[in-house]
Amino acid sequence: MIKYTLRRLLQAIPTFLGITLFSYLLMTAAPGGPVGALTFSPNVTPAQRARVAVQLGVDDPWSVQYLRWLAGDDWMRWDSDGDGLADGSIFIPIGIDETGHACHEAPCAITFAPGTGKGVLRGDFGRSFFYRRPVSSMIGERVAATLELGAAALLLGLVVGVPIGIIAAVRKGGIFDNVTRVLAVCFSAIPIFWLGLILLLVFGARLNILPMGGRCPPSLTGGCPPIWGRIEYLILPTFVLATGAIAVYSRYMRASMLDVRSQDYIRTAQAKGLSNRTVWFRHGARNALIPLATFLGPAITGLLSGAVITERIFSWPGLGRFAVDGVVSQDYPVVMAVVIIGAIATILGYILSDILYALIDPRIRFD
């Protein structure tokens, strides 16, 4: 198992580099650019915009930009005057303030320093064009919120979806089976953004029993309290993100369980007089989980992609909302950092599926 996992990780390196190369090409080929988003003020001259493009490095060919982003260019820059900025930094008096908000009056300003840092291969995602902060620190501030929401949605999807699938298969053709199949189709067809807005309208605006958004009360200072102190803020986004997972897991589990219930060992367990709970949930469910394990790894990445919409609707301060803002402002370091996180999650998800497949089914060996 260990040798297989290491081999898969080594094989994933070319895949990872290919994903980053293709993503960077698409990003730089998109219309517009970060220069236009940063220097939108009419007081900024074309010459200043050109200088900003030079300092950001976005005037170079995309291949040069990619290599600089990948390996960095700090070894080409130095601070000879001791001002804390690499030589060649420029200062434009109109732009965005220190919090990243647009302004058009002094002392609001933009300072651009050339170079992108050490590069991704050395663990440096660079500095955000828009916020002018290290992307790594900004991700660190948001990753806990995304993991919290994703883990809650995944847990809810498994805890609810798997038993529903088992019971629906055992009671095939019954009322429970028919109702859950209809609900699964409905929840799979309903767009996440529409469901989120409807729930906010009903439970937030009309009934006023759940918050309208956010991760914790905005009046708090010093960070959010533990989950049990703000559980009401997690209910709606978790439910919205988990509905699709519940529908998919229940349908997969039902189909797999229908195949298992006709096996000889199930009839043998019933002939021994074992209870239905032991037969279906102990003997049958373990073998029925094998196809679900194959699907579980990629489902983790699916929750991350679904969180992009969910976090935007519920104002959840996670990576999904951060990614949307980065794409809108064409903040290249932010966009590529999110791409890297998604690529790593996808690769590890598929490896996790293979490992779970072997753990559930002892007949499978990777040696």
Q: What is the CB-side half-sphere exposure of residue 259 using CA atoms within 13 A?
A: 11
- Domain ends where: 61, 95, 124? 124
Confidence of residue 57 (pLDDT cuts 50, 70, 90): confident
Q: What is the CB-side half-sphere exposure of residue 170 using CA atoms within 13 A?
A: 16
222 and 329 share one domain: yes
Can you give the pTM of this predicted structure?
Answer: 0.76
**How many structural domains compose the chain?**
2
pLDDT in tens, 87-129: 444 444 444 444 444 444 433 444 444 445 677 888 888 888 8
180 and 62 share one domain: no
107 and 152 share one domain: no
178 and 40 share one domain: no
268 and 327 share one domain: yes
36 and 151 share one domain: no
What are all long-range contacts of 21-28, with beta carbons under 8 Å and residues at least 24 apart?
Answer: 21/66, 23/335, 23/336, 23/339, 24/62, 24/65, 24/66, 24/69, 24/336, 25/62, 25/66, 27/330, 27/332, 27/335, 27/336, 28/58, 28/62, 28/65, 28/332
In a domain, 153, yes or no: yes
In a domain, 133, yes or no: no
Would you say residue 8 has pLDDT above 90?
Answer: no
- Domain ends where: 60, 92, 124? 124
- Domain of residue 86: give its range: 31-124
pLDDT in tens, 163-211: 999 889 888 888 999 999 999 998 888 888 899 999 999 998 888 898 8
Q: Show Cβ contacts of residue 182 under 8 Å, excluding neighbours closer than 6 positions.
A: none
In a domain, 223, yes or no: yes
Would you say residue 356 has pLDDT above 90?
Answer: no
Confidence of residue 365 (pLDDT cuts 50, 70, 90): low
Q: Which two tokens stand for residue 284?
A: 């049958």
280 and 309 share one domain: yes
Higher pLDDT, 145 or 43: 145
Would you say residue 46 has pLDDT above 50?
Answer: yes
pLDDT given at position 52: 77
86 and 198 share one domain: no
pLDDT given at position 91: 45
pLDDT given at position 102: 45
- Domain ends where: 89, 124, 159? 124
Q: Show Cβ contacts of residue 92 under 8 Å, excluding neighbours closer than 6 positions.
A: 39, 44, 48, 52, 109, 110, 111, 112
The phi, psi pair for 317, rounded to 5°, reads -80, 65
3-class secondary-structure state, position 330: coil
